[in-house]
Amino acid sequence: MRKILLLVAVFLLAVVAVFWGINRVRSDAGKPALPQIDRRADGNAGSNARQSPNVEDLWGAQDRSPAEDSAAVFNDWLSAVAKGDGLKAEQIRARLMVLLRGNPKGNQAVYRRAAQILADRSVESDLKFPLVEILDRAATPSALRVFLDLLNQDLSPDLRRRLIAAVSDTGEYYWDKSSFAEVAPMLLQSWRETRDPQLLQALAVAIAKVGDVNGVNQLVDTVLGQETQSPSYSAAQSALKFVNNPGLIPFIGKRLSRVDAGTAEMAVCADILASMCQVEATRVLFEWAQNADGQYAALVREAFARISDPASVDYLASFVNAARFKSAFVRTAVLTALKKP
- Residue 11, judged by CB atoms within 10 A of its CB (0-12, 13-18, 19+), counts as exposed
Q: Which helix (H) or strand (E) holds 221?
A: helix 213-225
Torsion-angle region of residue 160: left (phi > 0), alpha (psi -120 to 50) or beta? alpha
Q: How far apart are CA 184 and CA 188, in angstroms?
A: 6
Of the candidates 101, 88, 84, the one whose C-alpha atom is nearest the C-alpha of residue 53 is 88
Name, in order, each residue with C-beta under 8 angstroms of 261's C-beta and a sequence gap of 6 or more: 255, 269
Q: Which range (6-10, 39-43, 85-89, 227-231) has the least confidence?
A: 39-43
Decide if 212 contacts 244 (C-beta within 8 A). Answer: no
- What is the per-residue pLDDT for 31? 44
Asked if 259 contacts 294 with a C-beta cutoff of 8 angstroms, the reply is no
Q: How confident is the model at residue 234 (pLDDT cuts 50, 70, 90)?
A: very high
Structural contact between residues 337 and 301, judged by C-beta atoms closer than 8 angstroms = yes
Helix (H, G, I), strand (E, B) or coil at 282: helix
**Whether the predicted pLDDT of 5 surpasses 80:** no
Mean pLDDT over 190-197 rounds to 95
CA separation for the pair 214, 211 (Å, rounded): 9
How many whole angstroms separate alpha carbon 171 and alpha carbon 332?
Answer: 38
Per domain, the residue ranges of the chain are 244-341
State the average pLDDT for the chain: 84
Residue pair 252/285 in contact by the 8 Å Cβ criterion:
no
| pLDDT higher at 302 or 21 | 302
Residues 6+ apart with CB under 8 A from 122: 32
Whole-angstrom Cα Rg for the chain: 28
Residue 24 has pLDDT above 60, yes or no: no
Q: Tell me the per-residue pLDDT of 300-331, one tens digit each, with 9 for 90 and over.
A: 999 999 999 999 999 999 999 899 999 999 99
Task: Say which residues have a Cβ less than 8 Å from residue 268's Cβ, sequence separation at least 6.
Answer: 220, 223, 224, 240
DSSP state at residue 205: H
User: Do 202 and 232 form a contact (C-beta atoms < 8 A)?
Assistant: no
Q: What confidence score (pLDDT) does residue 41 get?
A: 43
Per-residue confidence (pLDDT) for residue 338, from 0 to 100: 86
Closest CA to 288 of 327, 241, 338, 244: 327
If phi > 0 it is left, if psi is from -120 to 50 it is alpha, else beta; for residue 40 that is alpha
In this predicted structure, what is the pLDDT of residue 185? 97
Instruction: Tell whether the torsion through CA atoms of 330, 332, 333 and 337 is positive or negative.
Output: positive
d(CA 300, CA 270): 8
pLDDT of 341: 55
> Are the C-beta atoms of residues 149 and 115 closer than 8 Å to each other?
yes
The helices-and-strands tally (H runs, E runs) of the chain is 18, 0
Instruction: Output 22 or 259, whichever has higher pLDDT.
Output: 259
pLDDT tens digits, 276-296? 999 999 999 999 999 999 999
| Best mean pLDDT range from 56-60, 102-106, 149-153 | 149-153
